[in-house]
Amino acid sequence: MTGDIVVISVASMGGIGAALSLFLAYADKKFKVEEDPRIEGVLQILPNSNCGGCGQAGCRMFAEAVLVGKVPITGCVAGGQAVVDGLAKLLGVEAQKANKIVAVVLCHGGEKEALKTGIYKGEKTCVAANFTSGEKACSYSCIGYGDCVEACKWDAMAMNDNGLPVVFHDACIGCGACARACPRFIIEMHPIEHKLFNYCRNKDKGAVARKVCKVSCVACTLCVKDCPQEGGIDMIENLAVLNYEKCLQDTDAPIKRCPTKCLLYGEEEKMTKAFYYASLKKPAA
Amino acid sequence: MDIILIFISAAIVNNFVLSYFLGICPFLGVSNKTESALNMGLATTFVMTLTAAATWPVWTYVLVKFNIPFTQYVAFIIIIAALVQFVEMFLRKSSPDIYRAMGIYLPLITTNCAVLGLALFMVLRNYNYVQSIFFGFGTGVGFTLAMLMMSGIREELEFADVPPVFQGISITLIIAGMMALAFMGFAGLIRG
């Protein structure tokens, strides 16, 4: 009797399994999806790092989108000129100039500049520390535990001896992972042509901002007056905000009278990987 | 009459998500956008209705008839898995965008406890074939309803001023708790 039950259960389970697999085999034939054979070709050109810098959910998604023309061939920020050329050749469209985008850390309030009013003993990550106000008195500043450096897969960032992240201008491929990792949104992605930046995000009034940090934007509006293009720099919420469409970035005139030197020109392109590691070996006098 | 009662009971009064806390993972995972929540709800409703339609004959004419009810979990899981596989093929062919929007949550319907729970409740309560199908369909409608309400609230939440410590998943769980509290108001209206 026991043997019967074993045979019956094995047979019924097998029968159910066989019936369902027949059904699925039929459905697979019926609902077969034809894939564009060019996807593989595009994938061979792409970096295949799935960095997400293009805004798609990975290189495969980008490949599918670029084939139907949803995104331009310059959409892959990580690939640079080589990928754009390769895609142009493969898809038979005109070659274009690649957009080079780099990350810019918009806070210069490091250990030396920012006032510290708190002691933080929790988990040493920016996301965790952001639930408190962190160690620095400025609640807009870089927290300094390096979530962005951790997020960078390209070895294009480091924490310097002043407790601030630096972006290596030559190594950054513009994927934007660091900008997404920063809980205070002080990292922005900018085209390589942008040279003038306000390295402060403190929206407090000038007197308050000045107390918490030596390099804060105090909203004095001198740069607004000194910008050669009308409307190139606006004062919004006690911050000098650059209007990159109007401000031509061809001169460092606006930064000359900046009292706290939070507005700087051409600072980013100095910081290459080689320059940074050379400066580590020979401490500046 | 009892068919309507079974349907309303499964969809609203004894809502699987908000009263029995079954199928919570897609309820929290795919409810950030109304569109994907609706599609997830529809896919799950489809799977649930078919599950009820397919497991009842297997239970009655195979497992009960040959006196092997101890294989019910295996049998039900195989049927559910095959149905989800079928839905996946179908969606991939007919609407690749929905297929992508659901991502991993689509295959996860296989182990969605609401689907297996539905098959087990159906057996436990001795429903007949028509009752079972309506029970499965009602459960799916209830699941879709919960998903839609959650996604609607979460979309509005994007514009709300949520305190930093509550942001993200914690406010979502608080809202889920409040919705369950609201559904407690239906408790006891219909038995079973």
For residue A265, CA distances in Å to A59, A150, A255, A268 come to 35, 27, 7, 8
Q: Where are the alpha helices (DSSP H) in chain A?
A: 2-30, 38-45, 59-67, 80-91, 126-129, 147-151, 177-181, 206-212, 222-226, 273-281
> Are residues A207 and A236 both part of a single domain?
yes
Of A51, A73, A91, the one marking the end of a domain is A91
Tell me, yes or no, whether A28 lies in a domain. Answer: no
Token pair 């994938």 is found at: A43
Confidence class of residue A83 from pLDDT cuts 50, 70 and 90?
A: confident
Tell me, yes or no, whether A228 lies in a domain. Answer: yes
> Are residues A256 and A147 both part of a single domain?
yes
Tell me whether B65 touches chain A (CB under 8 Å): no
Triad A143, A149, A155: Cα angle to 5°: 160
Containing domain of residue A273, as a range? 101-281
Tell me, yes or no, whether A5 lies in a domain. Answer: no
Task: Identify which of A8, A20, A24 has the shortest CB distance to residue B68.
Answer: A8
Tell me, yes or no, whether A23 lies in a domain. Answer: no
Task: Identify which of A9, A24, A61 has the shortest CB distance to residue B68.
Answer: A9
| pLDDT tens track for A45-66 | 888 888 878 878 788 888 888 8
* Long-range CB contacts for residues B85-94, cutoff 8 Å, separation at least 24: B85/A24, B85/A27, B86/A23, B86/A24, B86/A27, B87/B43, B87/B46, B87/B47, B89/A24, B89/A27, B89/A28, B89/A31, B90/A27, B90/A31, B91/B43, B92/A31, B92/A33, B93/A31, B93/A32, B93/A33
Give the pLDDT score at A5.
86
Tell me the pLDDT of chain B (192 aa) as tens digits: 788 988 988 898 888 999 888 988 889 888 888 888 898 898 899 999 999 999 999 999 988 888 888 889 999 999 999 999 998 888 888 887 778 777 778 888 888 889 999 999 999 999 999 999 999 999 999 999 999 999 999 999 888 888 888 888 889 999 999 999 998 888 877 765
* 8 Å CB contact of A16 and B66: no
Phi, psi of B179 (to 5 degrees): -65, -40
Task: Identify which of A13, A23, A130 has the shortest CB distance to residue B82.
Answer: A23
Tell me, yes or no, whether A32 lies in a domain. Answer: no
Give the pLDDT score at B168.
81
Confidence class of residue A1 from pLDDT cuts 50, 70 and 90?
A: low
Give the pLDDT score at B93.
85
CB atoms within 10 A of CB B65: 11
> Are residues A123 and A145 both part of a single domain?
yes
The minimum CA-CA distance between B120 and chain A, rounded to whole Å, is 18
Mutate to test the interface with B, among A9, A35, A131 (most CBs of B within 10 A): A9
Residues of B in contact with A20 (CB under 8 A): 78-79, 82
Q: Sort A183 into a burial class: Cβ within 10 Å, 0-12 / 13-18 / 19+.
A: middle
Mutate to test the interface with B, among A1, A10, A13 (most CBs of B within 10 A): A13
* 8 Å CB contact of B58 and A13: no
> Are residues A55 and A129 both part of a single domain?
no
Structural domain count of chain A: 2
Residue B127's identity, in one-letter code, is Y
Indicate whether this model's pTM tops 0.90: no
Which residue from A264, A269, A228 is spatially nearest to A246, judged by alpha carbons?
Answer: A228
Q: State how far the Cα of B122 lies from the Cα of A110, in Å rounded to an integer.
A: 64
Give the pLDDT score at B78.
92
A226 pLDDT exceeds 90?
no
A285 pLDDT exceeds 60?
no
Q: What percent of chain A has pLDDT over 70?
A: 98
Assess contact for A107 and A200: CB atoms under 8 A. yes
Of A73, A91, A109, the one marking the end of a domain is A91
Tell me whether B67 touches chain A (CB under 8 Å): yes
Tell me whether A5 touches chain B (CB under 8 Å): yes
Give the pLDDT score at B140.
94
Mutate to test the interface with A, among B71, B72, B88, B94 (most CBs of A within 10 A): B71
> Are residues A216 and A147 both part of a single domain?
yes
Give the pLDDT score at A282.
65
Tell me, yes or no, whether A208 lies in a domain. Answer: yes
CB atoms within 10 A of CB A250: 10
Tell me whether B92 touches chain A (CB under 8 Å): yes
* 8 Å CB contact of B93 and A27: no
Give the pLDDT mean for A168-180.
89
Residues of A in contact with B82 (CB under 8 A): 20-21, 23-24
Tell me whether B79 touches chain A (CB under 8 Å): yes
Tell me, yes or no, whether A43 lies in a domain. Answer: yes
Output the six-digit token pair for A38.
């060019």
Q: Which of residues 26-85 of A touch B (CB under 8 A)?
A: 27-28, 31-33, 57, 61
Task: Identify which of B67, B68, B93 has the shortest CB distance to residue A31.
Answer: B93
Residues of B in contact with A130 (CB under 8 A): 164
> Are residues A118 and A222 both part of a single domain?
yes
> Are residues A112 and A217 both part of a single domain?
yes
| pLDDT tens track for A128-150 | 888 887 889 998 999 999 999 99
For the residues of A28-86, what is the DSSP string, one character each?
Answer: HHHTPPPPPTHHHHHHHHS------TTSSSSHHHHHHHHHTTSS-GGG-TTTHHHHHHH
> Are residues A111 and A246 both part of a single domain?
yes
Which residue from B11, B12, B88, B21 is spatially nearest to B49, judged by alpha carbons?
Answer: B11
Tell me whether B166 touches chain A (CB under 8 Å): no
CATH number at residue A86: 1.10.15.40
Mutate to test the interface with B, among A2, A6, A20 (most CBs of B within 10 A): A20
Residue A78's identity, in one-letter code, is A
Q: State how far the Cα of B42 lies from the Cα of B35, in Å rounded to an integer.
A: 11
From A161-170, A203-212, A249-258, the region with the lowest mean pLDDT: A249-258
Q: State how far the Cα of A107 lies from the Cα of A182, in Å rounded to an integer.
A: 12
CATH number at residue A268: 3.30.70.20
CB atoms within 10 A of CB A200: 27
- The neighbouring-strand residues paired with A103 are A189
Tell me, yes or no, whether A30 lies in a domain. Answer: no
Q: State how far the Cα of B116 lies from the Cα of B119, in Å rounded to an integer.
A: 5
The minimum CA-CA distance between A9 and chain B, rounded to whole Å, is 6
> Are residues A106 and A230 both part of a single domain?
yes
Number of Cβ pairs < 8 A linking chain A and chain B: 54
From A1-5, A26-30, B107-111, the region with the lowest mean pLDDT: A1-5
| pLDDT tens track for A177-197 | 899 999 999 999 998 888 889
Q: What is the DSSP letter of A168?
A: -
